[in-house]
């Protein structure tokens, strides 16, 4: 059992976001697979970001991390830990984190490892890194969620499986937001998986909804509120993991989360679901529209299954204002033929 613990020394110093500039419109999938147009309305995903043929989770992590480092204004050599969360690491056996550290010029005196827990791999790594900063073991840490999400052609996952990376730098000095408290909820629920050597993931259909996504996030949030004696209404902004636009909106209604609380987090309609980067993209966009003193609650979800909850208090208003929207507005549309033949596979 996790002990209720208020963080006192951990701050979010900077965020770096990288979204590939290629976009696949949902209408391409509807037309090519003769899906009902209603599926686009149901899922609420208009388009998704697509990594180019020469991009992978490492290259995207490098881009996002460079942006975070530049904005943080810290000495890169002060980073004591580099963690990369992904379910599409470029190598089955060779860490993405050590390659990332080398490309960033961090030297050699840092702890590095990769994490996997479907779409919550990065938030779990963030909790681990925050604990190291809080304890005084390290001064600063870099945590990245980066995925080139895969989907079997014709599968419903194809509408949302996207590509992006978000890099988060945390440390002790004052920054963008204070980390206040965390909670996690975990079970063995087989809703989504990919066997070793399998090209595409599979999913358990009905298990992805109620026993997967909804049960775990709701339980994680409810137990967080009980442990720390908080209410949903205490938070100005709430970020829920976004496998599509339908699920977080449905969960918000069930948990009495208002449209005002959740609206700034819903990046999925224009970007899709870049797995480990999904909840962090919602965090980035919410921070870009936040004011000093506001409180933010983030709840990730990873199939297999679990949810991490992290609460923040904003120290810098309108951080990264308009930067996120600028990235998704610059997207170049591609055809489904090009997507299938050039971009949909890990190269």
- Give the active site residues: 87, 119, 241
Residues pairing with 11 in the sheet: 171, 178
Would you state the structure tokens that stand for residue 161, as one six-digit string?
């499986």
Spatial neighbors of 158 by CB under 8 A, at least 6 apart, are 29, 151, 152
Would you state the structure tokens that stand for residue 172, as one six-digit string?
């002790």
Distance (Å, whole) CA 147 – CA 155: 18
Q: Where are the beta strands (DSSP E) in the chain?
A: 11-18, 22-25, 47-50, 79-85, 111-115, 140-148, 163-171, 177-186, 192-193, 202-203, 237-240, 295-299, 306-314, 332-334
Distance (Å, whole) CA 347 – CA 337: 17
Q: What share of the chain is helix, strand, coil (3-state, %, to 5)?
A: 40, 25, 35
What does each C-alpha distance from 15 to 29, 185, 330 come to in angstroms? 32, 26, 20
């Amino acid at each position: 059992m996790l002990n209720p613990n208020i963080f006192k020394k951990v701050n979010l110093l900077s965020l770096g976001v990288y979204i590939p500039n290629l976009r696949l419109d949902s209408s391409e999938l509807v037309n090519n697979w003769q899906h009902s147009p209603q599926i686009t309305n149901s899922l609420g995903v208009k388009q998704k970001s697509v990594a180019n043929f020469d991009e992978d989770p490492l290259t995207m992590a490098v881009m996002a991390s460079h942006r975070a480092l530049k904005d943080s204004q810290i000495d890169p050599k002060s980073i004591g830990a580099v963690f990369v969360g992904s379910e599409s690491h470029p190598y089955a056996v060779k860490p993405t984190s050590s390659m990332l550290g080398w490309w960033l010029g961090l030297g050699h005196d840092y702890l590095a490892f990769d994490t996997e827990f479907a779409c919550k791999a990065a938030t779990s790594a963030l909790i681990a890194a925050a604990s190291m900063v809080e304890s005084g073991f390290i001064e600063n840490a870099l945590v990245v969620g980066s995925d080139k999400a895969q989907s079997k052609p014709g599968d419903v996952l194809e509408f949302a499986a996207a590509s992006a990376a978000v890099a988060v730098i945390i440390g002790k000095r004052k920054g963008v937001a204070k980390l206040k408290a965390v909670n996690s909820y975990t079970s063995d629920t087989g809703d989504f998986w990919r066997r070793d050597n399998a090209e595409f993931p599979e999913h358990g259909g009905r298990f992805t909804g109620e026993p997967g996504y909804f049960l775990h996030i709701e339980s994680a949030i409810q137990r967080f509120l009980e442990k720390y004696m908080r209410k949903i209404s205490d938070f100005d902004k709430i970020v829920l993991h976004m496998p599509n636009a339908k699920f977080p909106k449905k969960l918000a209604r069930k948990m009495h989360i208002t449209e005002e609380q959740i609206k700034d987090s819903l990046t999925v309609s224009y970007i899709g679901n870049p797995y480990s980067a999904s909840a962090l993209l919602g965090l980035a966009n919410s921070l870009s529209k936040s004011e000093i003193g506001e409180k933010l609650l983030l709840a990730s979800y990873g199939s297999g299954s679990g949810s991490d909850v992290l609460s923040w208090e904003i120290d810098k208003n309108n951080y990264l204002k308009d930067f996120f929207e600028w990235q998704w507005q610059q997207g170049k549309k591609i055809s489904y033929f090009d997507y299938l033949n050039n971009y949909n596979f890990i190269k």
